[in-house]
A = this chain, B = another copy of it.
């Protein structure tokens, strides 16, 4: 693992234009988004801005994915809210303090995991679990922001049914000013995403300008709605952001003081893993487009340091964001310099522009969040897995329902454990085929699918799975039952062409099987055993235990060796 990102060593002048433009475009998009995700997490807007300055810059210097744009993201913001709401009132100073502690823990967990090379753990969250979780989280986020859009006050709830219930009960208190401005913002944002690019092209705007202009739609919505509130003096008619402190945050060790660490560990673990998963998937996808490498462990350290910096610098937990990284990439980012420029833009905003956000309506931020997350909701993975692997579709639905009804971490945990359980169950009952000889060849095939020749005293059995503790006893029982049902059998040949490993329990089970078969007058042989497995079996005198049974190179060799001289003609199965 190296300490600094590669791009610092061999920066080339030709990278500069792309980096500058991408850095500016990302910054324009990030200003409203950061504040919106802070609001989603139950935090004051500046916390989101702070998280997009030094944490973003530190990842750019340390992380392994040069065009990844790091900062607050919607799903993590939701998990911060869900994890901390039981401990303090959202928006309160205690809540902000807890957020710093959470960022610190996330930073420590990710850094240590990276150093210990535990990045592989991310793979145990299956694709189905991740897509189901993000879709469900997006639904909760969108519904959770509706209260700002409608301008009503409802208590924080963690489950979607509770949220919908509270929203329906508050429909008589809808604030028409908030709803009106919110719908205006949504219209602008949706237009920016859908038709704006075509219209700009239609009126002859040069192509390089089109992406920056479309990505400025959120900023335009902020300026327009804030302007309306300021000019018409509506700030007492609807909820606005209010005073945002001016100036950069101080570096402080306050995050380490008076934290209920025990209550923070579980949310921190869940957020660390989910945050890294989102970021790594994105980083890898971008890197492969350029045939670049992403080192998951270096990436963990990069994200971990970014979160530690967030904790020491007044920010919220961060990770690599999907939508903003795509924008960064499309706008031409070549290296981490783009992110440094974005961070500088955010720093300037905090230094000089925060007074302008005084009259920014909360409904505008809610509109930003809703339009951003609604694209994440995607039922196609459910449809695909339904066709290919219904059990996976079951995991998808379980995770989705679990996140909506039980909560984010519970839903992910339920889905991940179920997926592992299904895998273990499947491998615990491997496919086992009795095979026979394809007439006139040296090939052996399943007697239930092919017309093949068999020998009465020889049973040829192929097991299609590595042997380990959870299937060893199953195989043992299965084979013992076979010889019980066919008392004329004298030789049982276990074909191991699909056996990639034999663990200690399976070995013990094989030794048991040899003894039990011997008790029953049957000799066990192996065939087509892979080289590394033979080496290990030889190292522990397995062959002495197997004797008089043998290990044959091929099934055909086993058949010709064991077939009694002048045996009766074969029977044909079909």
Known A292-B484, A465-B466, A501-B426; contact A536-B123, beta-carbon cutoff 8 A: no
- B residues near A508, Cβ cutoff 8 Å: 127, 381, 384
Instruction: Classify the secondary structure of A's interface with B.
Output: helix
Are A389's CB and B503's CB within 8 A?
Answer: yes
Known A293-B484, A539-B387; contact A124-B428, beta-carbon cutoff 8 A: yes
- B residues near A516, Cβ cutoff 8 Å: 285, 288-289
- B residues near A296, Cβ cutoff 8 Å: 477
- B residues near A539, Cβ cutoff 8 Å: 387-388
- B residues near A471, Cβ cutoff 8 Å: 123
Interface residues of A in 445-489 (CB under 8 A from B): 464-466, 468-474, 477, 480-481, 483-484, 487
Nearest Cβ in chain B — how far from A317, in angstroms?
23
Given contacts A123-B473, A291-B483, 4 further A-B contacts (CB under 8 A): A384-B508, A389-B504, A392-B505, A419-B469
Are B431's CB and A504's CB within 8 A?
Answer: no
Are A487's CB and B540's CB within 8 A?
Answer: no
Are A504's CB and B123's CB within 8 A?
Answer: no
Nearest Cβ in chain B — how far from A340, in angstroms?
26
Are B501's CB and A424's CB within 8 A?
Answer: no
Interface residues of A in 264-322 (CB under 8 A from B): 284-285, 288-289, 291-294, 296
* Range for the number of chain A residues in contact with chain B: 35 or more
- B residues near A470, Cβ cutoff 8 Å: 123-124, 126, 420, 423
Interface residues of A in 342-392 (CB under 8 A from B): 381, 384-385, 387-389, 392
A530 to B462, CA, bound (A): 14
**Would you list the 7 A-B pairs with minimal beta carbon distance, nearest first?**
A126-B469, A392-B504, A389-B504, A127-B505, A288-B516, A385-B504, A126-B505
In the complex this chain forms, how many copies of it are found? 2
A520 contacts the other chain (CB 8 A):
yes
Are A388's CB and B484's CB within 8 A?
Answer: no
**Out of B288, B427, B509, which one reaches A127, CB within 8 Å?**
B509
A429 contacts the other chain (CB 8 A):
yes
Nearest Cβ in chain B — how far from A219, in angstroms?
31
**Which residue among A122, A126, A128, A292 has the maximum number of chain B CB atoms within 10 Å of its CB?**
A126
Considering only CB atoms, which chain B residue lies closest to A465 in the complex?
A: B500
A543 to B505, CA, bound (A): 39
- B residues near A115, Cβ cutoff 8 Å: none
A498 contacts the other chain (CB 8 A):
yes
A137 to B327, CA, bound (A): 61
Interface residues of A in 119-134 (CB under 8 A from B): 120, 122-124, 126-128
Known A387-B539, A500-B498; contact A477-B284, beta-carbon cutoff 8 A: yes
A519 contacts the other chain (CB 8 A):
yes
Are B540's CB and A388's CB within 8 A?
Answer: yes
- B residues near A472, Cβ cutoff 8 Å: 123, 127
Considering only CB atoms, which chain B residue lies closest to A513 in the complex?
A: B288
